[in-house]
Structure 1
Amino acid sequence: MAFITLLTSGFAARTIHAYTQVNIATPFMYKNIDPIVFPGEYDKSHLHSFYGSDAVTVSTQTSEELRGGCTNAENPNDMSTYWTPTLLYQSGDSWEPVPVMRFSAYYGLGDEPASIPFPENLQMLAGDASAQTSDAMPAEAHSEWFCEGDANNGLDGNGFPTQTCSTHLQQLLYFPNCVNTETLEYAYKDGEPGSYHECPSGMQAMPQLRFSIRYDMREVVPGGWSGTAPVKLACGPAWCSHGDFINGWTEESGQALVDAASLKDEYLSVNGALGNDGDMMSCEATDADPEHGTGDYAESVEVMSKRSVPAVGWTSRNRLARSRRGM
């Protein structure tokens, strides 16, 4: 796929205090692939929502591969690909993706300045796709579901808010912030956000990546809800929330992320040779392998042939395999 560098100007300056961030308006595709967990396999993964570089396929493994694509990120120097299980709502007899108002990848310091940028070819996972209860959800990922700006009215049995969101249903998810640059093994620092300690032996600190996803429920569930939220993830309840990341930042901008992550309460734009923070490529991100896999939820379930779907939520008769790097 040709690498298109012609840019259209977006808003280059931001006013929020978030270290630095990359915004993406919507997924560029929905697809039942996962090149980290199930590389090369089309019949194993549930449906995911993909953001960023569209060069990703079921077999993508390197940063350089991603740099050969088109990104829908609001920073052309970020050729990374990000993906999450698709959030679904019931429309008649089918389950359809809930519209995304905005996906944001935040990069912060993780309490102490990062010492290294993300290594080339780094692949990371946060959360656990097989978790079906709150106890099974990895605590280090600090996954949260809540209504943006609303009072906390509690969570239903599936881990989603029990009351209608006045604006957006929002999710937060934290990624590991330590890495061994030779093996690309990664881990979380000891402690909690706000009081992190040291990296495990043999690892160095990298910027803290955090997903923030805002979903707009107002059109798809216009009557709102009280009690059990009328949504589910393609992997099941909120407890199975997880995220995937393959690094595609240009070398120059990847180093700039380290500088941005040195700031506690100040926003720093990350610019580079391909443009400025807020710029967008003039190309349109699309599926690089449209002949394989599916973006339809029902078809993805049929392909897996392992899951049954009750009225709201779902059950699994098979836990997904873990990747070699852990999940």
Structure 2
Amino acid sequence: MPSTILTRATLLSGGLLAQMASAYTQVNVAAPFMYKNIDPIVFPGQYDKSHLHSFFGSDAVTINTNTSAELQAGCTNVENPNDLSVYWVPTLLYQSGSTWEPAPLSRFSAYYSLGDNQAEIAIPQNTKMLAGSASAKAAAEMPAEAAIEWFCENQDVTIGDNGFPSSTCSTHLQTLLYFPNCVNPDTLETAYKAGQPGNYKECPSGMSSMPQLRFSIRYDLRKALPDGWSGSAPLQLACGNAYCSHGDFIMGWTEDAAENMVATTAAKNKFSSVNGALGNDGEEPTCKSADADPDHGTSDYAESVAAMSKRSIPEVGWTSRNRMLRL
């Protein structure tokens, strides 16, 4: 496993898993509500510049989304009616003959404060965050703070040359990704605490700690790839190999629920529900999510690649430390 990835083996050998069993909350999604080649953080107001992404949460997201209020006017496919955030990741694809198709999802989970210390403030409205590096092509280029890892759930498998497990997953292919846990509430600039998951310390000067977001995504490839694989996995992300793994987030929790989330981080060693004026944790959505701008962009991977080949700007990447960087 690449040295820049904080692995489960590393956590066990360092005794950190025991420390990581602090209070947390989570929201789950069974499937993306859309695939689309847009990115309102990296390419605001622009079509056909981004690689393909899988979107979860509020369906109000478009290329122009900039505020929590915009998202809160939409429909969420998250199992908590108070969470109208939008979450997105580069689409995972598997090779099907001569084409690449979106990998079947088992579950997308957004955890908050799993393994972190008690939060000082709620995640501010209008917060936007990035984690990982969209332009990374090797393990050494991955931001260590995001603690990204790809593995077979409940199975020890070595990592191949493209960053994915080198042999078939008997259960789920899973990935983890940590977001910043500090924020300046006036500027909305974000950063990571010193340390690492399970052993975090203080926030940078001028920032306060907030509930930390972590993505946990499980894919079920057993039907899509019934013959499995050995060696280089027939997988890729829309941005490249596994090393370009990254995630995006725009805050959409209602203000009352966001404040209630802070209280859950004070407890220890248990899951805590976050409820709010729109309903209780675990309530499935009663609305049906849909693309808010179906006439623009594409959900087809090949079309997204063709569109990107025509763009007239240099390749854009960013890192997850404390602000977006255009490279």
TM-score normalised over the length of structure 2: 0.89
Q: Give the superposition deviation at 1:241.
A: 0.4
State whether structure 2 residue 282 is matched by structure 1 residue 278: yes
Distance 1:40 1:110 in 2: 36
CA contact (8 A) 1:109 1:263 kept: no
CA contact (8 A) 2:22 2:267 kept: no
Number of positions where the alignment pairs a residue of Structure 1 with one of Structure 2: 302
The within-5 A match list for 1:146-295 is 146-151=151-156, 153-295=157-299
CA contact (8 A) 1:179 1:186 kept: yes
SS at match of 1:223: coil
CA contact (8 A) 2:135 2:239 kept: yes
Q: Residue 124 of structure 1 aligns with which residue?
A: 129
Q: Residue 324 of structure 2 aligns with which residue?
A: 326
Distance 1:230 1:194 in 2: 33
Q: Give the superposition deviation at 1:17.
A: 7.9
Which of these residues, 139, 142, 149, is aligned with residue 144 of structure 2?
A: 139
> Aligned AA for 1:122?
T
Q: Give the superposition deviation at 1:136.
A: 0.3
> Aligned AA for 2:239?
C
> Aligned AA for 1:325?
R
Q: Residue 18 of structure 2 aligns with which residue?
A: none
Q: Residue 26 of structure 1 aligns with which residue?
A: 31
Which of these residues, 82, 95, 100, is aligned with residue 90 of structure 1?
A: 95
Q: Residue 60 of structure 1 aligns with which residue?
A: 65
Q: Give the superposition deviation at 1:318.
A: 5.7
Which of these residues, 41, 48, 55, is aligned with residue 53 of structure 2?
A: 48
Q: After superposition, what is the alpha-carbon deviation per residue over 1:60-117, rounded to whole angstroms, capped at 9, x for unaligned?
A: 0000000000000000000000000000011222111001100000001653210000
Q: After superposition, what is the alpha-carbon deviation per residue over 1:112-157, rounded to whole angstroms, capped at 9, x for unaligned?
A: 2100001010000000100000000000000000000112x21011
CA contact (8 A) 2:22 2:114 kept: no
Q: Give the superposition deviation at 1:165.
A: 0.5
CA contact (8 A) 1:110 1:207 kept: no
SS at match of 1:49: strand
Q: Give the superposition deviation at 1:244.
A: 0.3
SS at match of 2:304: helix
Distance 1:107 1:213 in 2: 14
- Listed as ranges, the gaps of 5+ residues in structure 2 are 1-20
- Listed as ranges, the gaps of 5+ residues in structure 1 are 1-15, 308-316
Distance 1:277 1:128 in 2: 32
TM-score normalised over the length of structure 1: 0.89
Q: CA RMSD in A?
A: 1.8
Which of these residues, 76, 98, 122, is aligned with residue 71 of structure 1?
A: 76
SS at match of 1:161: coil
Distance 1:239 1:299 in 2: 23
SS at match of 2:259: helix
Distance 1:225 1:326 in 2: 36
> Aligned AA for 1:180?
N
**1:169 to 1:297, Cα distance in 2 relative to 1, 3 A:** same
Distance 1:97 1:263 in 2: 38
SS at match of 2:173: strand
Distance 2:310 2:212 in 1: 35
Q: Give the superposition deviation at 1:321.
A: 4.2
CA contact (8 A) 1:47 1:295 kept: yes
Distance 1:322 1:41 in 2: 17
Paired-residue identity, % = 65
CA contact (8 A) 1:108 1:260 kept: no
